[in-house]
Amino acid sequence: MNILVLMKVVPDVVEELEVGSDGKSLDTSFLRTIINERDDHALEQALLLKDKHGGKVTLLTLDAPDIDDVLFTALAKGTDRAVKICGVESVQSTQTAVKLFGDVIAKTPDLLPVDLILTGVSAIDDLDGLMAAPIAHQLGWPYTGVVTHVTLADKTATVIKEFAGGVRGEYDVPTPAVLGIQAAEKPPRYVPVAKVRAAMKSQTIETVDAPAVEAATTVEVQQMAKPQVTGHAEMLEGSAEDVAGKICELLAKRGLL
Amino acid sequence: MAGNIWIVAEAWRGQVSEITFELLALGREVAGQAGVPLEAVLLGSNARELAQKLGAADTVLYADNAALADPVPENAAAALAQLIKERQPAAVLVPLTNLSVDVGVVLAAQLNVPFLNYCKNLKADGGNLTATCVLYGGKMEATVTASAKPAIIGILPGARSVEQGRSDKAAAITDVAVTLAAPKVHFKKYLDPETADVDITQKDFLVAVGRGIQTKDNLELAEDLAASLGGAVCGSRPVIDQGWLGLSRQVGKSGMLVKPKLYVMLGISGAPEHVEGMKSSQCIIAVNTDAAAPIFNVAHYGVVGDALEVAPALTEKIKARKG
Amino acid sequence: MDLDPVRISLMGLPAWAVLWVLTLGAFGVFGFRAWQLIGLLFKARSENRFDQLGARVMRFARHVLLQPRLFNEPSIGLAHFLIFWGFVVYVICFNWALIRGLAPVLPIPYPDEVGLSAFFLDVFSVTVLISLAAAVVRRVFFPPAHLHLSWDANLILTLIGILMLTTLFGAGFRLVGEGKAASGWTPFGSLLTAVLPPMTAPTAHAWAKGMWWMHIITVLIFLVYLPYSKHLHLLASPFNVFFGNLRPAGDLSIAGGSEELAAGSAKWNEFTWKQLLSGFSCAECGRCDRSCPAANSGFPLEPQQLVQKLKKHTIHAGLAKPNGNGEKLIGDVITENEIWSCTTCMSCIERCAVLNEQIPILVQLRRHLVSEGQMAKTVQDALNNFNRYGNSFGKSDRMRAKWTQALGWKVKDARKEEVEYLWFVGDYASFDPRLEESTRKTANVFKAAGVDFGILYEGERNAGNDVRRIGEEGLFEMLRDKNLQAMGKAKYKTIVTTDPHAFNTLKNEYDLKGVEVLHYSEVLDRLAAQGRLTFKNKLAGRVTYHDPCYLGRYNDIYEPARRVLKATGVELVEMPRSFNRSYCCGAGGGRIWMEDVEGVKERPAESRVREAAALGVTTLVVACPKDLVMFQDALKTAGLEGKLAIKDVIDLVEEATRQA
Ligand SMILES: Cc1cc2nc3c(=O)[nH]c(=O)nc-3n(C[C@H](O)[C@H](O)[C@H](O)COP(=O)(O)OP(=O)(O)OC[C@H]3O[C@@H](n4cnc5c(N)ncnc54)[C@H](O)[C@@H]3O)c2cc1C
Ligand code: SF4
Ligand code: SF4
């Protein structure tokens, strides 16, 4: 069973984010990126499947600052191959990322065949789409998203998808398939720094050149701004009855009742 | 604007999800601004009575097909794609729920248009749609124009209130036919949560109790509130230490990390160790007698008052509203 | 008449020949066992404990010959001391008697035939018997917690009793045989002549010989049994003490040990020989357990059991057939929960009479678990945060100096301006909202006293003390290197830290080439001594002070904070557990990031605040940011809110020196 994992980095929201001078995008001078949490879960799910069934796990990423650390960490965790797509400047749109990944997967000779392509079901910067479905569409493979559990058998992956309120659904997906991972069965494993260092010494990261793709134009950011945050709760006043009523109102307004 | 505004209704296990009404409310506004009709699309099998609930739309396009009974996004997307090709709407609003998001993204892929994500507000303005999207986990908001036709737009829960989208008006139902090929992905079954063992990390609604609850007996007030919301009770460490709740209900640094839709806090001061475990909750309401309690810097809504009074009052109101 | 006990015939053989057979047999078995055990040590990993021989000899003299640590527990200290010395004298006399018995031709008398040695034997026998009685009474009527009342221990006590009684009775019978009523050389043997029934001289001689034989045979049995029993400590512990750790206790580096140690130990032979020797040396006295906060709080860890389990497993697995018994050290013998329960407070090491080092053993096990990625999710998150942001809070490193913003003046950036003191603030003091105020007070007090200091701003990382003790050696090195890099850019003379954990690792594990590292309590103490702090507003009230593990036990710093406190005017009273007996707050060794476990009786911090409250003081003063957090939390669960305040030393100093 061979698995390809697609991973990208997103802005680290632990850091203060600022709007750039164009008023439409993030200020990149202080931007720090971190791997998309769900992609990390996708990698973990792939490694769990490898632990169970054997086979190879290949990780494909877009180049980014500090991406080598991410890739070596993945190698230290048991990933077999780490490949990065070079020659892309920070990819702002998910559509572009989809095109880049799609092209590279189709054109790089030894990435396919695989049984599964796993990637995070969503990322915090996915403004104009989610990655997994369009890639599945390009490849003509089946797709299922919001997956939290995968079991592999010959030619079929049985996956569990999360709905709401703890209810989940079980699906059979014929392989090869693309899955959008919501969470791996276990939290991503910890790999000690020493092992990452050892991987840096003994393993290599492969590179492929980014194909030329035209950027998507149908979604355009006009303006970006920090939402107003007061840093303090909005206080509800009145008698217990009154506040209960007010809470009810706002729960209803938020679609929570 | 050329083309109508569509919302995709979410029907699940014989019920219309509430977010459908939120979309109807938002769609109504947008359709009004654009001066076009609002149409709701309901896909299902023997679900006509559900279509009747969507009276807020000018028309309900109801596609009845046995293949649409189960939640198979591929089928739903194929059905929508056919209808879209036939009827050319300007925009299709899709609920951003785990159930529907896949329908939206597969549809966008099939039509080869972008899927506009994380939208919390939408306006029509001179033939253009302008969306406000929440990015980077809420750290930024982007104003975005979508010129794709049709624009497939994922709407976050809570964009409008459910009430606004409900209508007593009889729905004008138009039956539409779709032909569906056998899907590649096969839905097998629903897995319901096991009730015996409450996993607070999986709950959408949590009522958290702190030392302000004072005695074990008062826990009942929290249990009642949680029951009315359809959620569970959890607590801060001192409450767990007292043995009032099991260790699996502890939220915080040394307990569970939770991200529910609603986190109601009764008598919790907001120590960093507790906040660590719940700060990502979507809506936090804190009830505390101390106006200076640090939790009010974390919560979205605050009540300075006695949790022992507010909790039962709230339970009553919720029960009354839910009927 | 020949009184020589070997000049008789036993079962038709000359008795000395029988003695040869018995002796060779006993020594053979003993030697075989010793050879086996030593063989195990040779299979373990290396560790250099052959340096500083002079210091080792001194330590041996102190801890083996004088045994000061045994006197920590008065009920047994003197008794053990006497048993020990009695035993040494006996060993000498026994060997003397044995050699004489094996070689009857030697023209020397038996020890009991020489006045002086007979006197010693006589007096010691009685003293030891009295000590034995004390030991038995303690075991039966007042057994301290964690003392294992084993069959093994009882057997040994019985054997020792027989040895002493045979000596006394031997002397008594000899006197009777010689027709004397008493001898000044054997005062207690003389007493026995009065109670022995009347008998003929040959009968008495025969009894005396019988006693001699019984004595010798008992010793030989003892010899055979010894290396199989807990009294292996008699043989192993002197070596254990000699090869004990001479580096600072706060240095967990594997310097001088096998490189592989950094990846941890999961099998018996992956520990160092010295760590295995710890097990052989353990006397099962339970001192460590009695002082252990984990054991006392009901966490599944007892340091004594840890050492014992390692010993038993080593012997089982090491001496088993090649395919072994399949028992896994981690999991079957020692559980993961056990391994993670330790707060690295060092009281076990500080107490152990045979100078065992439990923490390095635990850390070896932890290193293995970490290398396998087996740890609680919360610990994993903390480690990931350290790795990415340099702090456990998961906050941006750019926010590290945010606390300075409310100061109203700019703290020097030591990377840009030369300073006298480089202040290593530490994570908790920098990031925890509850501590920011105290951190600012420290800055203001330093400023008022004219201290020229600066900080590293976002260049500072967690010092890595707890990361290392969690067992993530690579991450520790990474943090240390980053700090050293930032410190390399700064010009300073002395380092001052707020956090005792950071203090320990900077001082003992950073190799700062002679740069002085001080805790802020030491700096305050110096400033006070130099008259640079003026305590204008004398404070009133009774307070007590908690010695942080990493300041006290680890680095022997007890007085500066106390002197400073007294200078503020408060009355300082001591808790029953103070100075090197201070009781851990429970946060150390990474425990602060671990999940709570079921079955904990009383958290260490709760026990501690209760102890303080019982003194009737207003305030429990701490000198460690984590302590403040831990104890403030414990007040809630212990129901002591409003009855006791938790304050940092700096809070009192600031109040006492504040300008009107
Ligand atoms: C290492 C460590 C780990 C920890 N891990 C956790 C953890 O995982 N989870 C956790 O929760 N804590 C944890 N803590 C404890 C944490 O520091 C706090 O002590 C704890 O969260 C406080 O709980 P609380 O808010 O219920 O109690 P308090 O802080 O005592 O707050 C009670 C609040 O109730 C209010 N109140 C009183 N009466 C009423 C009333 N009638 N109506 C409304 N409000 C009222 C009071 O004003 C007060 O604000 C940890 C602490 C440490 C040191
Ligand atoms: S260091 Fe402290 S907590 Fe750890 S075993 Fe020793 S006494 Fe117990
Ligand atoms: S390890 Fe040391 S203190 Fe603990 S029981 Fe053994 S000899 Fe005693």
- Do C317 and C428 sit in the same domain of this protein? no
- Whether the pLDDT of residue A176 is over 80: the answer is yes
Q: How far apart are CA C426 and CA C498, in angstroms?
A: 7
Burial class (CB in 10 A: 0-12, 13-18, 19+), C530: exposed
Interface membership of C405 toward A (CB under 8 Å): no
Give the pLDDT confidence score for residue C1 in this predicted structure: 45
Query: What band does C660 get if pLDDT is binned at 50, 70 and 90?
Result: low
- pLDDT, one tens digit per residue, over B96-130 is 988 899 999 999 999 988 899 999 999 998 778 99
Query: What band does C2 get if pLDDT is binned at 50, 70 and 90?
Result: low
The DSSP string of B36-102 is --EEEEEEESS-HHHHTT-TTSSEEEEEE-GGGSS--HHHHHHHHHHHHHHH--SEEEEE-SHHHHH
- Ligand 1 contacts CB of residue B293 (under 6 A): yes
- pLDDT, one tens digit per residue, over A29-64 is 888 999 999 999 999 999 999 999 999 999 999 998
Give the pLDDT confidence score for residue C578 in this predicted structure: 94
- Ligand 3 contacts CB of residue C350 (under 6 A): no
Q: Which of A12, A27, A30, A193 to mutate to test the interface with C (most CBs of C within 10 A)?
A: A193
| Cα B266 to ligand 1 centroid, rounded to whole Å | 10
Start-to-end CA distance of chain B, whole Å, equals: 41
Q: Would you kindly state where each structural domain of chain A is located, as residue ranges? A: 2-209
- Do B219 and B290 sit in the same domain of this protein? yes
Considering only CA atoms, which of C318, C343, C340 is closest in space to residue C329?
C318
Asked if A248's CB is within 8 angstroms of B321's CB, the reply is yes
Nearest-by-Cβ selection for C637 from B238, B250, B273? B238
- Do C34 and C117 sit in the same domain of this protein? yes
Atom 8 of ligand 2, nearest CA residue = C292
- Ligand 1 contacts CB of residue B308 (under 6 A): yes
B192: in domain: no
- Of C354, C371, C388, the one marking the end of a domain is C371
Q: CB under 8 Å to B167, separation ≥6 — which residues?
A: B24, B55, B56
Our mutation pick for probing the ligand 2 site, out of C288, C342, C363, counting the most ligand atoms within 8 A of Cβ, is C342
Q: What is the CATH number of the domain that holds B285?
A: 3.40.50.1220
Q: Which residue has the tokens 């201070």?
A: C582
List the single residue in B with minimal CA-CA distance to C394: B276
Q: What is the CATH number of the domain that holds B35?
A: 3.40.50.620
- Do B253 and B311 sit in the same domain of this protein? yes
Whole-number average pLDDT of chain A: 90
| Strand B115-125 with B128-135, pairing | antiparallel
Q: How far apart are CA C623 and CA B126, in angstroms?
A: 67
- Do B38 and B110 sit in the same domain of this protein? yes
- pLDDT, one tens digit per residue, over C40-60 is 999 999 999 998 999 999 999
- Do B28 and B171 sit in the same domain of this protein? yes
- Do B170 and B226 sit in the same domain of this protein? no
CB C604 within 8 A of CB C584: yes
- Do B33 and B117 sit in the same domain of this protein? yes
- Do C353 and C398 sit in the same domain of this protein? no
- Do B123 and B251 sit in the same domain of this protein? no
Give the pLDDT confidence score for residue A31 in this predicted structure: 86
- Do B166 and B209 sit in the same domain of this protein? no
Q: How far apart are CA A178 and CA A3, in angstroms?
A: 10
List the single residue in A with minimal CA-CA distance to B142: A224
CB C592 within 8 A of CB C603: no
- Do C345 and C250 sit in the same domain of this protein? yes
- Do C352 and C399 sit in the same domain of this protein? no
Q: Find the domain containing B230 and state its range.
A: 200-322
Give the pLDDT confidence score for residue A230 in this predicted structure: 66
- Whether the pLDDT of residue C651 is over 90: the answer is yes
Give the pLDDT confidence score for residue C322 in this predicted structure: 65
Q: Which is more confidently placed, C598 or C481? A: C481
Interface membership of B253 toward C (CB under 8 Å): yes
Query: What band does A215 get if pLDDT is binned at 50, 70 and 90?
Result: low
Asked if B255's CB is within 8 angstroms of C637's CB, the reply is no
- Do B280 and B241 sit in the same domain of this protein? yes
| Strand C494-497 with C516-519, pairing | parallel
Six-digit token pair at C169? Answer: 């009775």
- pLDDT, one tens digit per residue, over C379-437 is 999 999 999 999 999 899 999 999 999 999 999 999 999 999 999 999 999 999 899 99
Secondary-structure breakdown of chain A: helix, strand, coil percentages, each rounded to the nearest 5:
30, 30, 40
Total domain count for chain B? Answer: 2
| Strand B115-125 with B151-155, pairing | parallel
- Do C446 and C562 sit in the same domain of this protein? yes
- Do C196 and C263 sit in the same domain of this protein? no
- Do C222 and C253 sit in the same domain of this protein? no
- ipTM of the assembly? 0.90
Q: Along the 323 residues of chain B, how does pLDDT read in single tens digits?
A: 678 999 999 998 888 988 899 999 999 999 999 999 999 999 999 999 999 999 999 999 999 999 999 999 999 999 999 999 999 999 999 999 888 999 999 999 999 888 999 999 999 987 789 999 989 888 889 999 987 788 999 998 878 878 889 988 888 999 999 999 999 999 999 988 665 567 888 888 999 999 898 888 899 999 999 999 989 999 998 888 777 888 889 898 777 888 899 999 999 998 888 988 898 888 999 999 988 888 998 899 999 999 999 999 999 999 988 77
- Whether the pLDDT of residue C622 is over 90: the answer is yes
Total domain count for chain C? Answer: 3
Six-digit token pair at C596? Answer: 């709570």
Please give, rounded to a whole number of angstroms, the shortest distance from the CA of C429 to a CA of chain B.
Answer: 14
- Of C371, C402, C423, the one marking the end of a domain is C371
- Do C283 and C303 sit in the same domain of this protein? yes
Q: How far apart are CA C197 and CA C207, in angstroms?
A: 12
- pLDDT, one tens digit per residue, over C517-532 is 999 999 999 999 999 9
- Do B165 and B54 sit in the same domain of this protein? yes
- Map residue C505 onto helix, strand or coil: helix
Interface membership of B238 toward C (CB under 8 Å): yes
In C427-577, alpha helices (H):
427-431, 436-448, 465-470, 473-489, 500-509, 520-529, 559-567
Amino acid at C164: M
Give the pLDDT confidence score for residue C595 in this predicted structure: 79
Adjacent-strand bridge partners of B44: B64
Whole-number average pLDDT of chain C: 90
List the single residue in B with minimal CA-CA distance to C433: B272
Tell me which chain B residues have a C-beta less than 8 angstroms from the C-beta of C637.
237-238, 241
Q: How far apart are CA C136 and CA C432, in angstroms?
A: 53
| Strand B301-304 with A81-86, pairing | unpaired
- Whether the pLDDT of residue C223 is over 60: the answer is yes
- pLDDT, one tens digit per residue, over C98-108 is 998 888 888 88
List the single residue in C with minimal CA-CA distance to B274: C633
B286: in domain: yes
Q: Find the domain containing C120 and state its range.
A: 9-43+74-143+151-229
- Do B208 and B140 sit in the same domain of this protein? no
Instruction: Name the CATH topology of A2-209.
Output: Rossmann fold (3.40.50)
Q: Which is more confidently placed, C195 or C278? A: C278
CB A198 within 8 A of CB A72: no
Specify the DSSP element, H or E, that contains C308: helix C303-319
C627: in domain: yes
Give the pLDDT confidence score for residue C324 in this predicted structure: 61
- Do C491 and C608 sit in the same domain of this protein? yes
**Of all residues in chain C, what percent carry a pLDDT higher than 90?**
61
- Do C206 and C317 sit in the same domain of this protein? no
- Whether the pLDDT of residue C149 is over 70: the answer is no
- Do B135 and B16 sit in the same domain of this protein? yes
Adjacent-strand bridge partners of A209: A86
- Do C193 and C250 sit in the same domain of this protein? no
- Of C352, C371, C390, the one marking the end of a domain is C371
| Structure letter (DSSP) for residue C644 | B
Query: What band does A217 get if pLDDT is binned at 50, 70 and 90?
Result: low
A-C contacts (CB, under 8 Å):
41
